[in-house]
Structure 1
Amino acid sequence: MRRHRFDLFSFLAGGLFTVLAVLYLVASLNGFRLDGRIVLPITFIVLGTAGLAAAVAAMARRRRPDDDR
Structure 2
Amino acid sequence: MRKHRLDLFSLIAGGLFTTIAISYLVAALNDETVNGRIVVPVTFIVLGVGGLAGAVAAVARRSRTDRDE
* TM band (smaller chain): 0.7 to 0.9
Matches of 2:53 and 2:11, distance apart in 1: 12
Q: What corresponds to 1:11 in structure 2?
A: 11
* Number of residue equivalences: 65
Higher CA-based Rg: 1
Task: List 4+ stretches of structure 1 deviating above 4 A.
Answer: none
User: Could you list the runs of 5+ residues in structure 1 that have no partner in the other structure?
Assistant: none
Q: Give TM-score, length-normalised by structure 1.
A: 0.85
1:22 maps to which residue? 22
Q: Residue 50 of structure 2 aligns with which residue?
A: 50
User: Structure 2 length normalisation: TM-score?
Assistant: 0.85
What residue ranges of structure 2 are gaps of 5+ in the alignment? none
Identity of aligned residues (%): 65
Q: Which amino acid aligns with 2:51?
A: G
